[in-house]
Amino acid sequence: MSLPRRWRATALSLSVLFLLNSCGPPYSPKPIEMAPPDSAPDLATVPGTEIRMSALFYNTPGAIHEEFSGKHGLWRGRVVMVQLTLSSDEKNATDLLIDSAYVSFGGKYYPAISPKETYDVAWPAANPLSPLKEDLFNAAVVGFTVITLGLGSVIWVLPTPFAQPAPDTTPFGRDLNYKALTSNIALQPGTFRSGFLFFHLPKSVDMTKLAGAQMVLHFVTKTPTIASHVVTFNLPTAVPAAR
C-alpha cells in the first residue's frame, strides 16, 4: 500500500534536507610541514638558553585554506594561525611551558584560543544557514509526526543533522587538535617541535593588514632550572607558499 501524497512529500523533504547536509567531499588532513628554525625568516632565541624558535604567520584565506581544506571557515571566523617551531641545542633535555600567548594589535590583546574554541568559531562561520536549515528540519519532523501519529503524539523522532557536532566527532575538529601546539613542550637536545597557535580577531580587524601587530609569548623553562622568559615576534611574517 502506497503512502498518501502528503506523507510522501514530507518524507521527500526530510530526505532532501539530509542530502543537502551530507553533500561534499570528505575532509583530508594534511601533515604539518616544518623547517628548522635556523632556516626560517623570523627567528628568535629564548633568552639565556640554546633554544630557538620561529613563527610563521598564516594571515590570508588562501594560506589558511591550504592548511585546513574544505568548507571549514577559519578565515570567515576571523581566526589567524601561527606555526611555532622550536629546536634545542641544550646539553640536556628541557621542559618548557607556554604560560601565555597573545597577539597585540591596535592597543588590544587577543589571547590564543584552544582547538575546541577554534572549532566553535569556525563551524558557524562555515555554516551560516544552519539555523534556518535546522528550523526547517524541525518543522518537517513535527509535520511528519502529526500526519503519521496524530496531533496528540507530537514527539521528536529524529535528531537534527544540522546542530553543531562535537569537535572530536569530526575529522576537521580532530585535525585542529592534532596540529595545535601543546602548552607543555619537552625538547631533547637536537630535536624539533612544531604546531599551531590560534587567535580570534574581531570582524573590524583586517587580518591581511596587521602592520605593527606582535605575538607575545611568555615561557617558563622548568628544567634544568625554573626561569621565566618573554619572546616577541613582529607580525605578519612570511606566509607559506601554496603546496
Query: Which CATH number belongs to the domain containing residue 91 in this structure?
Result: 2.60.40.1470
Helix (H, G, I), strand (E, B) or coil at 214: strand
The residue segments making up the domain with residue 223 are 32-126+165-235
Between 5 and 96, the higher pLDDT residue: 96
d(CA 103, CA 198): 10
Residue 74 resides in a domain? yes
d(CA 232, CA 82): 13
Helix (H, G, I), strand (E, B) or coil at 20: helix
pLDDT, one tens digit per residue, over 214-240 is 999 999 988 767 889 999 999 875 555
Pair 132, 46 in one domain: no
Pair 5, 120 in one domain: no
Tell me what pLDDT residue 160 has. Answer: 55
Q: Which of 68, 76, 103, 56 is nearest to 179 (CA)?
A: 68
pLDDT, one tens digit per residue, over 115-164 is 999 988 887 655 544 443 454 445 555 555 555 555 455 454 455 555 65
Mark residue 189 as left, alpha or beta (left: phi above 0; alpha: psi -120 to 50; beta: remaining).
beta
pTM, full prediction:
0.74
Query: Averaged over 175-191, what is the pLDDT?
Result: 91
Tell me what pLDDT residue 83 has. Answer: 92
pLDDT interval class at 64 (50, 70, 90)? confident
Give the mean pLDDT of the chain.
76
Pair 44, 100 in one domain: yes
pLDDT interval class at 16 (50, 70, 90)? very low
Pair 98, 109 in one domain: yes
Contact 215, 103 (CB under 8 A): yes
Residue finishing a domain among 112, 139, 163: 163
Between 122 and 2, the higher pLDDT residue: 122
Grid cell at residue 179: 596540529
DSSP-assigned letters across all residues of 25-61: PPP---------GGGSSSEEE-TTSSEEEEEEEE-SH
pLDDT, one tens digit per residue, over 150-161 is 545 545 445 555
CA neighbours within 13 Å on the CB side: how many for 48? 12
Between 198 and 210, the higher pLDDT residue: 198
Pair 212, 98 in one domain: yes
How many domains is the chain partitioned into structurally? 2
Pair 113, 180 in one domain: yes
